[in-house]
Amino acid sequence: MTTTKPTSERRVIANVLRGSIGNLIEWYDWYVYAAFSVYFANTFFPQDDATAQLLSTAAVFAVGFLMRPIGGWALGRYADKFGRRSALTLSVTVMAAGSLLIAVTPGFQTIGIAAPVILLLARLLQGLSVGGEYATSATYLSEVASPGKRGFYSSFQYVTLVAGQLVALGVQIVLQQFLDNDQMNNWGWRIPFVIGAVGALGVMWLRRGMDESEQFRAVEGKAKQAGEQEKSRGSLRILLQYPRECLLVAGLTLGGTVAFYTYTTYMQKFMINTSGIPKSTVAWINFIALLVFVILQPLVGALSDKVGRRKLLIFFGVGGTVLTVPIMTVLAHTSNPVGAWALMMLALVVVSGYTSINSIVKAELFPTAIRALGVGLPYALTVAIFGGTAETIALALKKAGHESVYFWYVAVCVAISLVTYYFMRETSHRSPIDDELSDESAARGDTAAAR
For helices 114-144 and 214-225, the axis angle rounded to 10 degrees is: 80
First to last CA, the chain: 23
Average pLDDT over residues 254-264: 93
pLDDT digits (tens, 9 = 90+) for 392-439: 899 889 888 888 999 999 999 999 999 999 998 887 776 667 666 555
Domain presence at residue 254: yes
Look up residue 40 and give its amino acid.
Answer: F
Domain presence at residue 1: no
Q: What CATH number does residue 392 fall under?
A: 1.20.1250.20
Predicted structure pTM score: 0.79
Domain presence at residue 415: yes
* 93-102, 107-116, 237-246: segment of lowest average pLDDT: 107-116
So what's the pLDDT on residue 446? 43
Look up residue 130 and give its amino acid.
Answer: V
pLDDT band for 449, please (50, 70, 90 cuts).
very low
Domain presence at residue 221: no
Rounded to the nearest angstrom, the gap between the alpha carbon of residue 156 and the centroid of all alpha carbons in its chain is: 11
Domain presence at residue 217: no
Distance CA 364, CA 87 (A): 20
Domain presence at residue 224: no
Domain presence at residue 188: yes
Residue 142 has pLDDT above 50, yes or no: yes
pLDDT band for 450, please (50, 70, 90 cuts).
very low
Domain containing 190 equals: 13-211+242-437
Domain presence at residue 398: yes
Report the domain count for the chain: 1
